[in-house]
Amino acid sequence: MGLDITVLVVDWDHLGRTPAAERLGMLEDAACPDDDCDDGVGGADAGVEHGWVRRPDTPWCALYEFFRTLGSFKPHFWAGQAWEDVRDSAEPDLRAALDVFLAGLFWLGPDDADTGAEDEPIVGLFPAERDPWHPRLLVVRTPEQVPDLARAWAVAAPLLEDLRAPYAVHAERPGRWTANFEEFAILVRDWGEVVTEASRSGRGLIGLPI
């Protein structure tokens, strides 16, 4: 079994009003209610539109279903590896923007630049000592951090197609997750949708390992 990821756009005020010890369980229940876990589209009561799953009983969050990932974290990991392979050949403005954008989401970040994305734990958001039955969260971005990602995406989005040719030379790997530019672009644009919605709504992002 591999690592999964479920991405939620979350109302931070609602999260803050919930006792810290209950927050992770609340998020997991919102992502996968007991009566919905076996349904492929989030349950009969969930509204699904353009990848978004919105349940009437959890208006404080929305779940995004990434296209063609089957909920696995592997495509995201390999997209980060692909960016490592191709970034030196990217146009400077695109490279700078995607460095910030991807490092704020699923990429470890470059060795040669400060992306500005905060990787320190969000103090007080969850209990200091993690429950050993729960892996660490894969993404945590507060409403204050999201606009930086949205601005980076606004720069990167119209330039992304320029990466097609260098990607074919430096990063295309048939047979692996995120094998070609099309798959990379679909995944990155999905993240662009998530970040844009979070920024528009003034909410934060959380990636659960489920």
> How many distinct structural domains can be found in the chain?
1
Which structural domain, as residue segments, surrounds residue 132?
Answer: 6-208
| pTM for this entry | 0.87
Residue 1 lies in a domain: no
- Confidence class of residue 62 from pLDDT cuts 50, 70 and 90? very high
Confidence of residue 126 (pLDDT cuts 50, 70, 90): confident
For residue 115, pLDDT over 50 is answered with no
What pLDDT score was predicted for residue 116? 42
SS3 42: coil
Share of the chain above pLDDT 90, in %: 71
Contact (CB, 8 A) for 10 and 61: yes
Residue 180 has pLDDT above 90, yes or no: yes
Q: Work out whether the CA dihedral 201, 203, 209, 210 comes out positive or negative.
A: negative
- Do residues 196 and 153 touch, judged by C-beta distance below 8 A? yes
Residue 57 in domain: yes
Query: Which of 121-125, 137-141, 149-153, 185-189 has the weakest average pLDDT?
Result: 121-125
pLDDT at 7 over 70: yes
Residues facing residue 6 across a β-bridge: 208
In a domain, 86, yes or no: yes
| Amino acid, single-letter form, for residue 170 | H
pLDDT of residue 134: 56
Helix boundaries (H) for the chain: 12-17, 20-31, 74-86, 92-103, 146-156, 164-170, 181-201
Q: What is the DSSP letter of 163?
A: G
